[in-house]
Structure 1
Amino acid sequence: MELAFKEYLRLIHPAFVLESIDKPGKTVGINLALSRIKDPTIGNISISDVDHLKIRSAINLRNELVHYEFDHGIEATEAKFSEIFAFVIFFYREHLDLTPPDFIDEDDLQKILQRVKARAEMLQKARIYAKSNEGEVWLCPECNEDTFIVAEEQCCFCQRRELVSDCESCGQMVFACDVIETDSFLEWDYDEGRMTLIERYDLPATCCPECSSGITAKIEDFRRAQYYEDLAKESRR
């Protein structure tokens, strides 16, 4: 994918492949290449939000592999590969005038297509199972499919397991990994090597991302009220 982006930029002008004209020996990374091909003044390629999400997911996956932080299952990995494979195939076709046989060995291509077909069949079955489930079904944070069964705390497609908890602010169920500790919004005092919370304002200890803006607004209201109260006390002295 990165090479495809660079080739597209090179065809526009070789200078666009360089990270900077002041550094002729260093070419762009995939993030900068993506930014340039989307730039209306350079590549002017429109990439949908869905495809952009898939590209970002693929980039993150590659980075995890490079830094030895990869811990995804086979199903999730194949799902991500299938998504980005389809994008890359049609990027080559639409923007570089190349078809799969031009850059992939025929035997390898057939193996990939078999994997993609198997993935599609698995996804179809997972969607049927999810629809038959009487409980809530969420978008899976791993494969980005509507196949995460909340009651089971597991995606029935990629098998990703994720704890679900209640938001202490609104009571709605959220992924435990998305829960935010409200202490991070508050002021702390550092004294003799110890961190001390200045004021908790009687807030819940945690909240969901949707409630975070409301929590921060409440904190500002509390601080403003405290400020005016302190002013009133000063004026009475």
Structure 2
Amino acid sequence: MSEELPLDFAQVPMDILVILIADMLDRLMAHNDLIPLLPESLTRFHSRTAPSISVLDYLRRIVRYTNVEKSCLLLTLHYIDQICARMPRFTLSSLTCHRFIIASITVSSKGLCDTFCTNNLYAKVGGISVSELNVLEREFLDKIDWRIMCTRDLLQEYYVNLVRTHTSGKYYVIGTQSSVGSASDDGDEMDTTQSRPPTPAVGSAILIDLNRPVEVKPTIEQNMAFAALQELDKD
């Protein structure tokens, strides 16, 4: 059964927005998890193993304990496009998604909201240490070149795209003819090109990094981290 959603993202129920974002991130991770992990692809957002909590439950936990605003949740998608444009080797995968999300919420809430939580709380909710979150926050801001804002119109585009491409195909925005898109036809509609800052195309992060640069060599730190991951896999 189809479900009608408000035209304005600010009016959509919070849990529905969380469901829409989690669905998009799950599809992105499923694609990127198929890309072999190389030493030069490692970033500070990589964890040794994929967290056991799902992205949907993780987002719901953040919403419950931090009272995050809807615009900050949608900004996570914009930040993905920004970082993917500046770091062609970065992919949002099961190893990077959770840390990326908590860093994104921390940055956007501090930059855009009148009230926000302390890093101690964000870290606790995100399941990492506060020192680790501090490092991720600095890395995050550096990678997006401190461009923490975007237009409301762009956030609205992200919202509409989430509804249009949701796996179930049951959602549609008021004023449209019917629900559009399902998991079977998403691939034909999503933009597979890399985004260009500061206003990337909506959905451009869905199929990223298909043509990897071949001349960039891993740093010593990346080689050491990659070796540690391999040893962990052996265990």
Does TM, scored on the shorter chain, surpass 0.5?
no
With the length of structure 2 as denominator, give the TM-score of the two structures: 0.24
* Structure with greater strand share of residues: 1
